[in-house]
Structure 1
Amino acid sequence: MEGNRPKRRKDKYNPYTIFEKDGQYYVSFKDGQGVSHKLEISKALYDTFDAFELNDLVYLNVVDRHIEQSEVWENTLNMRAMKKSDSMEEIVFRKLQTEKLHKAISELPEKQKKRLILHYFQALTYVEIAEREKCSTRAVEYSIHGAMQSLKKFFEKN
């Protein structure tokens, strides 16, 4: 191939090739009879073809990496569809742990409790909490760290 061509993974379904030679942009392709053609195109059209190729590559990578490649049989689908229910012991244990956590949080100082809840249960960042409370990010971080240490001590003790 002549000229500078963008580095791409070869795809048998791509009917054209783009390249640049001596500051000019070209697209080459074969017509229905298998005759090769080379046309000069504008920079804008070259960039558009290039963007299309990149988008196609992104899609092909998604298919290769994230879409399941193995065969899926009916029994496999049924196994995945049915969520295994937790045993009664697991349900009771989780409920007791949740109650214990709520008791530990309720014993925290008000400011630590509020910041811990905002961070872990409402998914706010330190910066968002600091802006909301009009204080420094470091103060929020220190407060939440202190709350976590208090909770750790509570769980070690109980």
Structure 2
Amino acid sequence: MDKRPKRRKDKYNPYTLCSEKGRYYVYFVDVNNRIQMVEVSKSVFETFNIFELEDISQMNEYDRHLEHSEVYEHTLHKKKDSREWSLEEYFENVQITENLHMAISKLPEVQKRRLNKYYFEEKTFDEIALEEGCTYQCVQRSVYRAVEKIKNILKKL
């Protein structure tokens, strides 16, 4: 069976066009969720084919205009992430990152390790306490103090 190229579907054109040995068919799912195959004439087949192509064109046109006319949080994030940074923004970001690494490097080893586990490995205070054989409060206090030390170091820069 010669299937048509895969085309964009939506709830308004839920059918598939096929042809085989000069015969033309339309496949669709009925209300009982069963696939139905109906043989149609060539003119009906071509009409459906033209309709699909026009429908695709209209959906694409709508999508292009919708993107420009409506603003949603997820589209803003996508645009924000895709935009190019200016040279100043890039170097400012690099400088902030370097300052943060430098501040973390000045922490005692225990605080560095716990900070890394909590923020970068996304472990809970309980998990860290269990790994290190200490209490929840000890780990929590250590991480909070590390954050305060980092803030103080960064303020001085």
TM-score in terms of structure 1 length? 0.50
Matched residues in 1 for 2:122 and 2:65: separation? 38
* Aligned residue in 2 for 1:95: 94
Question: 2:63 is matched with which residue: 64, 73, 76?
Answer: 73
More helix by share: 2
Matches within 5 A, 1:41-56: none
Matches within 5 A, 1:1-158: 73-77=63-67, 80=75, 83-158=82-157
In the TM superposition, residue 106 of structure 1 has moved relative to its aligned partner by 0.4
Letter in 1 for 2:146: A
In the TM superposition, residue 76 of structure 1 has moved relative to its aligned partner by 4.1
Letter in 1 for 2:134: C
- Provide, for residues 81-132 of structure 1, a one-character-per-residue CA deviation record: whole Å limited to 9, x for no partner: 6522222211111111001000000000000010001111111111111111
Gaps of 5+ in 1: 1-71
Gaps of 5+ in 2: 1-61
Which region of structure 1 is more displaced relative to structure 2, 101-110 or 74-83? 74-83
Q: Please list every run of at least 4 consecutive aligned residues from structure 1 whose deviation after the TM superposition is greater than 6 angstroms.
A: none
Matched residues in 1 for 2:107 and 2:66: separation? 47
Matched residues in 2 for 1:108 and 1:75: separation? 52
Matched residues in 1 for 2:108 and 2:127: separation? 20
* Aligned residue in 2 for 1:31: none
Matched residues in 2 for 1:115 and 1:92: separation? 29
* Aligned residue in 1 for 2:4: none
What RMSD over aligned residues (CA atoms) do the two structures have, in Å? 2.3
Which region of structure 1 is more displaced relative to structure 2, 110-119 or 81-90? 81-90
Matched residues in 1 for 2:136 and 2:85: separation? 40
- Say if 1:76 and 1:94 are closer, same or farther in 2 by CA, change over 3 A: farther
Give the number of equivalent residue pairs.
88
In the TM superposition, residue 73 of structure 1 has moved relative to its aligned partner by 3.0
